[in-house]
């Protein structure tokens, strides 16, 4: 899953599109580089970012999703508000990246109406922009299994055709020590396999750990892709599609290579 950000407040500068044409170009390049789907969002998750109102998000998303759909690029729309999700799905998005949990029933019904896949994100609050829990659980997996299990059951009851889950490593907690944050993210990636008992793919937004990689931050997501692969990740959300695609291709090759003995 590639990423195109329509908000100029997004933290990963290389993913920001400054116009509809820029967004379409970036998404088509990512698709050509190996992305199976491109996630498009119109509001940054950064705590200090300006909030984009509904009309602004709708105006930004609609032409981008429409044009990408016309040229055959599968699109995911990142949203937590029903009006934003609605315009994205109506414009042709086939996946709803749901970064909130306070309006599940309406979101699930909307996804079912459009026969769209839903990625359920684990957020400690009503949405990724309004977190209410700053405490890192040393082992969040049992809580996630319970919460995700209930949401998966409800989504299926309301007709959502397919689902994935996202543990929310990119925004599901606050921690001032960024190196400790990266350590927590790495551990969680390796423990992905524990969530697979829910029977749906696990989607991870790959960290880039700027405080560790510094000038080589664009290599960070490739490193974390290895940990995610070892943990059993099913969907890799990345700003660095060519790098992560190459890393995953290498991992698949080595895992299937014949035994030299």
Q: Which parts of the chain fold into alpha helices (H)?
A: 20-32, 54-70, 82-90, 104-114, 141-157, 178-190, 210-213, 220-231, 241-256
Q: CA angle 80-75-23, nearest 5°?
A: 95
DSSP string, 41-61: ESS---TTSPPPPHHHHHHHH
Helix/strand/coil percent split, the chain, to 5: 50, 15, 35
Q: Which residues touch 214 (CB under 8 Å, ≥6 apart)?
A: none
Q: Looking at residue 47, what is its pLDDT?
A: 60
Q: Is residue 69 part of a domain?
A: yes
Strands 163-166, 38-41: pairing is unpaired
Q: Is residue 40 part of a domain?
A: yes
Q: Is residue 224 part of a domain?
A: yes
Is residue 36 helix, strand or coil? Answer: coil
Q: Is residue 249 part of a domain?
A: yes
Residue 145 token pair? 């299994």
With beta carbons less than 8 A apart as the criterion, state whether 61 and 96 touch: no
Residues in the chain: 261
Q: Is residue 261 part of a domain?
A: no
Number of domains in the chain: 1
Instruction: pLDDT tens for the chain, 261 residues: list them.
Output: 999 999 887 778 889 999 999 999 999 999 999 999 999 999 877 666 667 789 999 999 999 999 999 999 999 999 999 999 999 999 999 999 999 888 999 999 999 999 999 999 998 777 777 776 655 677 889 999 999 999 999 999 999 999 999 998 876 556 678 898 899 899 999 999 999 999 999 999 999 999 999 999 999 999 999 999 999 999 999 999 999 999 999 999 998 867 766
Is residue 233 helix, strand or coil? Answer: coil
Write the DSSP symbol of residue 202.
B
Tell me how far CA of residue 8 lies from CA of 15, 45, 50, in angstroms.
9, 11, 10
Q: Is residue 245 part of a domain?
A: yes
Q: Which residue has the tokens 């299926």?
A: 156
pTM of the predicted model, to two decimals? 0.93
Q: What is the dihedral of CA 34, 39, 159, 108, to 10 degrees?
A: 160
Q: Residue 224 sits in a domain of what CATH number?
A: 3.20.20.20
Q: Looking at residue 8, what is its pLDDT?
A: 84
Q: Looking at residue 54, what is its pLDDT?
A: 92
- Nearest by Cα to 91 from 111, 112, 61: 61
Q: Is residue 260 part of a domain?
A: no
Tell me the β-bridge partners of 4. 40
Q: Is residue 83 part of a domain?
A: yes
Domain that holds residue 212: 2-255
- Would the CA dihedral through 76, 47, 221, 215 be positive or negative? positive
């Amino acid at each position: 899953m590639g990423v195109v950000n329509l908000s100029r407040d997004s933290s990963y500068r290389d993913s920001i599109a400054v116009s509809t044409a820029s967004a379409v170009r970036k998404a088509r390049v990512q698709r050509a580089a190996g992305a199976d789907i491109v996630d498009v969002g119109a509001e940054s998750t950064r705590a200090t970012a300006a909030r984009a109102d509904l009309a602004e998000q709708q105006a930004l998303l609609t032409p981008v999703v429409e044009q990408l759909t016309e040229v055959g690029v599968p699109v995911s729309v990142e949203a937590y508000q029903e009006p934003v999700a609605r315009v994205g799905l109506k414009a042709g998005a086939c996946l709803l990246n749901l970064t909130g949990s306070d309006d599940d029933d309406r979101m699930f019904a909307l996804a079912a109406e459009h026969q769209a896949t839903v990625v359920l994100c684990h957020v400690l609050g009503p949405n990724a922009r309004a977190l209410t829990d700053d405490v890192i659980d040393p082992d969040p997996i049992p809580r996630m299994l319970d919460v995700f299990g209930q949401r998966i059951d409800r989504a299926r009851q309301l007709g959502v055709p397919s689902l994935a889950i996202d543990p929310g490593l990119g925004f599901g907690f606050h921690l001032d020590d960024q190196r400790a944050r990266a350590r927590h993210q790495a551990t969680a990636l390796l423990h992905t396999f524990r969530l697979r008992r829910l029977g749906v793919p696990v989607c991870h937004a790959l960290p880039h750990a700027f405080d560790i990689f510094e000038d080589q931050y664009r290599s960070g997501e490739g490193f974390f892709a290895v940990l995610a692969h070892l943990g059993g990740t099913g969907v890799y959300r990345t700003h660095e599609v060519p790098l992560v695609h190459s890393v995953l291709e290498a991992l698949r090759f080595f895992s299937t290579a014949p035994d030299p003995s």
